[in-house]
Amino acid sequence: MHISNAQTWVGVAITDQTTCQDALDGPNIDAQLKEAVRPRVMDASQATSNALALINRFATKQEAAPPIGAP
């Protein structure tokens, strides 16, 4: 798996979560549903954001590392 693929997939997940949060602000969404779902989406968003940060950190270290087999 390429790091850029993981970055893309996690980035898309963040976009999907943002879209879900935006949908919860719609006028036809039940208040109890909003109250039940929003904290879960926020938790998932935070975890996904943390995952992207870790992937990006790993990618940065990989770029700085000498090639495998280099003297």
Decide: 52 and 10 in contact? Cβ < 8 Å: yes
Q: Which run of H or of E encompasses 34?
A: helix 31-64
Threshold 0.85, pTM exceeds: no
Yes or no: say if 28 and 22 are a contact pair by the CB < 8 Å rule: no
25 contacts 38 by C-beta, under 8 angstroms? no
Q: pLDDT tens, 46-66?
A: 999 999 999 999 999 887 777
Taking only the tens place, the pLDDT of each residue in 1-56 is 588 999 999 999 999 999 999 998 888 889 999 999 999 999 999 999 999 999 99
